[in-house]
Amino acid sequence: DGGITQSPKYLFRKEGQNVTLSCEQNLNHDAMYWYRQDPGQGLRLIYYSQIVNDFQKGDIAEGYSVSREKKESFPLTVTSAQKNPTAFYLCATRGTPSNQPQHFGDGTRLSIL
């Protein structure tokens, strides 16, 4: 969706390396989300943030970390503790009220070298 920029589009990680995926939005939305999608599977929630300087773990937070220092930005770090990081990562945002739909970026595809 327009207004949500994920970068890079493709990313390769070496063993033992941390990598950071960027998500920037200009929609002025308070809520931001990170999902992981594996081939042929649905989306699983990694982390979400409803407001600056606050974030919550989703269903599969282990091996990942996030920060929310600015409203526009919600970067995701895939740490070396995440043993199976190969996946398609999607960032989403949502405005108010809470019944508003989530809007998604175009994703980052992470692979292991």
Partner 1 sequence: DAKTTQPTSMDCAEGRAANLPCNHSTISGNEYVYWYRQIHSQGPQYIIHGLKNNETNEMASLIITEDRKSSTLILPHATLRDTAVYYCIAHSGAGSYQLTFGKGTKLSVIP
Build a one-symbol-per-residue string for 42-81: x at contacts with partner 1 by CB under 8 A, - elsewhere: xx-x--x-x-----x-xx----------------------
DSSP string, the chain: -TTEEEE-SEEEE-TT--EEEEEEE-S--SEEEEEEE-TT--EEEEEEEEETTEEEE-TT-TTEEE--SBTTB--EEE-TT-S---EEEEEEEE-SSTTSPEEE---EEEEE-
Stretch binding partner 1 (CB under 8 A), from 12-20, 65-73, 74-82, 86-94: 86-94
CB of 13 to partner 1, least distance (A): 19
- Count residues near partner 1 (CB under 8 A): 27
Does 95 bind partner 1 (CB under 8 A)? Our answer is no
